Amino acid sequence: WLTLAQIHKLISQDNLVNMDARSVLSCISFAAPELKDIDSTKLNLNIKKLGAVDASKIPTDLDSFQSRVIASAIDSRGALHDSNEIISWFTELKVCCELNVERIPLKFVKNWLKTENQIHHEKGKYFSIIAIAVQAGNREVIQWTQPLINPLTTGLIAYFTKNINGTLHFLVQAKVEPGNFDTIEMAPTVQCITDSFEQDKPEERPAFLDYILKVPPDKIRSSTMQSEEGGRFYRESNRCLIIEVDDDFSLEVPKNFIWLTLGQIKEFIKYNNYINIEGRCLLSSIRFV
């Protein structure tokens, strides 16, 4: 048995808490209903009601990042957009997006090669499919064989945060992926694999990637390497970042991006297929104390 604070501390270590646990933890709200929309200037008086932490460790500086994260989860009065605006934004993107996904026989897949030991892309990029034989003495089945996806590079996942109207906001993107249940899901600001941009032209890179590549270390609020689900992926790990952007970072963003408070993101996690797995896992890395 571990406390929530202990688990969050463990998440700050590389590859220690698995993907499923991190995803579930992101569903936990840190604001009881009676604390919603409280005056964030009274935060330190009311935050003790949340329990589960040593009161002496509660941030007392309202300018600290942790305090602003807590306020973003609780006080929605400074939100740039209300719920109706967010739903309208998301619905409009879904209506405008046309994505036809059709399952085809493997023999018709272009640019992928099959060798004795793997299936891989002809350019040696992205990932390969490998086969493994497993022996385990502490499982209900002690040995088996299976395919695994073998990533060839690490991934990069990042949320940008910015103080807007006195409230910390997170920059969320509506991301189209062919395997999504409903075409589009809300994702972190940047979500990509590293070899997808190292050889690309600047205009072909994911939005805001160049900002990450040049961000000063003092703007990084959290940085860990976190593993993906080990039953399907072979030692896949992502660099997970929470970045606080400069004050002069523009509020104007591409139409598939939106600024949301932490409380608003948490609200959408309650519903199916709104926040993707990368977004949920990254949120779990945010420490409040």
Residue 261 confidence (pLDDT): 96
Whole-model pTM: value is 0.87
**Hey, CA dihedral for 181, 186, 188, 190, is it positive or negative?**
positive
Distance CA 167, CA 285 (A): 20
Other Cβ atoms less than 10 A from the Cβ of 247: the count is: 7
Tens-place pLDDT, residues 186-239: 999 999 987 756 666 777 788 999 999 999 999 999 999 999 999 999 999 999
Reported as a single tens digit per residue, the pLDDT across 28-59 is 876 655 555 555 555 554 544 544 445 455 55
Mean pLDDT in consecutive groups of 10 residues from the start of the chain, 289 residues: 92 94 89 54 50 50 79 88 96 90 92 94 92 89 94 94 96 95 94 74 84 94 93 94 95 97 94 94 84
The type of residue at 198 is E
- Per the rule left: phi > 0, alpha: psi between -120 and 50, beta: everything else, 42 is alpha
pLDDT at 189: 98
Domains defined along the chain, listed by start: 4-98+153-283 (3.90.79.40), 111-151 (no CATH)
**Which residues are CB-neighbours of 64 under 8 A, at least 6 positions away?**
none
Inter-residue contact 240 to 149 (CB < 8 Å):
no
What is the predicted pLDDT for the residue at 34?
A: 53
The kind and range of the H/E element at 257 are strand 257-261
Sorted by sequence, the CB contacts under 8 Å of residue 109 that are 6+ apart come out as none
